[in-house]
C-alpha cells in the first residue's frame, strides 16, 4: 500500500494452507523507478487460520512459517510479472524459496515425489502438482550458477515471456534449457541435494535391463522428460538407442562416493563391472511447442557385447545421499 505495507489476512483458506492472488493490475511497478514493468500487480495473500485437515505431519507452526514465506514470495513475483507465460515459474520459485528462508520449517521436500514418481512427464506439464515438485530444477541451477540466477530469471520475466524468459537467463551462463534439464534429471537420480534425506521418493525405474534382448518402449516419454532403466548385466556392453532424433542416452554409474554421468549419445559402451550400480537414462531433448504443450514418443534400446573403447564420464555428482532407485 502507499505506506509501504503489504496487505495480508489470516482466514479460512478453503482447504489450502495459503493463497495469493492479484487484485489490481498496475502495469508499471511504482517501486522500481528504473524498470518499466508491463504486467505488475498488487496482491492479497491469505494464510489459513488453523491448518486443520491438511494431511501433514509437520507441526502447525512449521506449516505456518513455510506457508507465509511461500505466499509472500508470490507477492514479490507479481511485482515483476503477473502474466508470465512460463507458468511453472510461480509455484516452483515459491517452493524453492521455502528451502532458502525458513530452514527446517520448509515444506517443499513433501512435494518432490510428484515429479520423481513420473519423471517421463514433460517439464512445464499442466498436470497438478508438478510445478511445486519441480523446485529442484531451480536448486540444480543454483548449485551450478549460484542462487542469483533465480533473481535473474524473474528480472527477465519483465520483458520476456514463456521459454524465452529462461532461455535468455541461461544464455548468459553459456547453457541451454535442454542441457540444464538433462543435468537436473541426472542430479535427481543421484539425489545430489542437501535436503535429499528429507525426500519421500527416489526417481522411478521404468525398466530393468537384464538380458541382451534389449527393450522397447512404445511411448510415454514426453519432451524434456526422462526414463531410468537399471542395468542388471555384468560385463562390457554396447547400448544403442533407436527413436526420434531428439532422444539421447546417458549412463549413470555409482563409483564409490560419486555418481558418474556418461553421455552415450545414440550409442556407447560401458563396463558394468567397474561400478556398484549402473542405470541408463533416456532423455528427450525436444522442447515443447509452448509451456505445458506436451506429447510423447517411444524408443528401443539394443544391447550387444562390446570390445571397443568405453565412453568417458562428462561430470559427476556426490553419492552421499544416493540410494538405488526402485
In whole angstroms, what is the distance from residue 314 CA to residue 32 CA? 42
pLDDT along the chain (326 residues), means of 10: 84 93 92 94 93 89 95 96 97 98 96 98 96 98 98 98 98 98 98 97 96 95 98 97 98 98 97 97 97 97 94 98 94
Q: How far, CA to CA in Å, does 306 sit from each of 80, 229, 250?
A: 54, 19, 17
Q: Roughly what angle, to the nearest 10 degrees, separates helices 135-145 and 88-101?
A: 60
In whole angstroms, what is the distance from residue 11 CA to residue 204 CA? 38
Grid cell at residue 200:
519421500
pLDDT of residue 6: 84
pLDDT of residue 55: 87
pLDDT of residue 134: 98
pLDDT of residue 240: 98
Q: Give the number of C-alpha atoms closer than 13 A to the C-alpha of residue 216, restricted to the C-beta side.
A: 4
* Nearest of 198, 204, 149, 200 to residue 173 by alpha carbon: 149
**Phi, psi torsion values for 106, nearest 5 degrees:** -60, 150
* Nearest of 9, 5, 43, 41 to residue 25 by alpha carbon: 41
pLDDT of residue 117: 98
pLDDT of residue 287: 97
In whole angstroms, what is the distance from residue 149 CA to residue 151 CA? 5
Residue whose C-alpha cell is 557385447: 305
Residue whose C-alpha cell is 549402473: 278
Q: With DSSP H G I counted as helix, E B as strand and the rest as coil, what are the percentages for the chain, rounded to 5?
A: 30, 30, 40
Rounding to the nearest 10 degrees, give the CA dihedral for residues 241, 255, 196, 147: -80
Strands (E), the chain: 8-11, 18-27, 40-48, 205-209, 215-222, 226-231, 236-243, 247-255, 258-265, 267-271, 277-284, 296-305, 315-318
pLDDT of residue 54: 86
pLDDT of residue 171: 98
All structural domains of the chain: 1-83 (no CATH), 205-318 (2.60.120)
Amino acid at each position: 500500500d502507499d505506506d509501504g505495507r503489504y496487505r495480508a489476512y489470516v482466514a479460512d483458506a478453503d482447504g489450502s494452507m495459503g493463497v495469493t492472488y492479484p487484485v489490481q493490475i498496475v502495469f508499471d511497478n511504482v517501486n522500481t523507478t528504473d524498470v518499466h514493468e508491463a504486467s505488475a500487480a498488487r496482491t492479497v495473500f491469505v494464510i489459513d487460520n488453523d491448518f486443520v485437515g491438511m494431511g501433514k505431519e509437520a507441526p502447525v507452526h512449521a506449516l505456518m512459517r513455510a506457508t507465509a514465506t511461500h505466499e509472500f514470495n508470490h507477492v514479490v513475483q507479481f511485482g515483476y510479472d503477473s502474466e508470465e507465460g512460463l507458468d511453472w515459474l510461480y509455484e516452483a520459485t515459491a517452493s524453492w524459496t521455502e528451502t532458502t528462508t525458513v530452514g527446517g520449517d520448509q515444506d517443499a521436500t513433501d512435494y518432490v515425489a510428484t515429479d520423481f514418481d513420473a519423471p517421463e512427464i514433460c517439464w512445464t506439464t499442466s498436470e497438478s502438482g508438478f510445478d511445486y515438485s519441480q523446485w529442484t530444477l531451480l536448486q540444480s541451477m543454483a548449485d551450478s550458477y549460484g542462487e542469483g540466477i533465480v533473481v535473474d530469471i524473474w528480472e527477465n520475466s519483465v520483458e520476456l515471456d514463456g521459454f524465452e524468459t529462461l532461455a535468455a537467463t541461461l544464455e548468459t551462463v553459456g547453457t541451454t534449457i535442454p542441457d540444464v534439464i538433462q543435468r537436473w534429471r541426472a542430479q535427481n537420480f543421484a539425489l545430489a541435494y542437501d535436503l535429499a534425506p528429507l525426500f519421500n521418493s527416489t526417481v522411478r525405474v521404468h525398466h530393468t535391463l537384464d538380458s541382451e534382448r534389449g527393450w522397447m518402449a512404445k511411448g510415454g516419454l514426453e519432451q524434456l522428460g526422462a526414463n531410468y532403466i537399471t542395468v542388471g548385466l555384468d560385463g562390457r556392453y554396447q547400448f544403442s538407442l533407436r527413436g526420434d532424433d531428439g532422444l539421447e542416452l546417458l549412463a549413470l554409474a555409482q563409483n564409490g562416493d560419486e555418481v558418474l554421468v556418461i553421455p552415450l549419445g545414440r550409442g556407447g559402451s560401458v563396463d558394468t563391472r567397474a561400478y556398484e550400480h549402473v542405470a541408463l537414462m533416456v532423455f528427450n531433448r525436444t522442447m515443447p511447442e509452448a509451456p505445458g504443450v506436451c506429447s510423447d514418443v517411444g524408443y528401443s534400446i539394443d544391447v550387444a557385447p562390446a570390445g571397443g573403447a568405453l565412453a568417458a564420464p562428462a561430470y559427476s555428482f556426490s553419492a552421499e545421499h544416493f540410494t538405488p532407485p526402485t
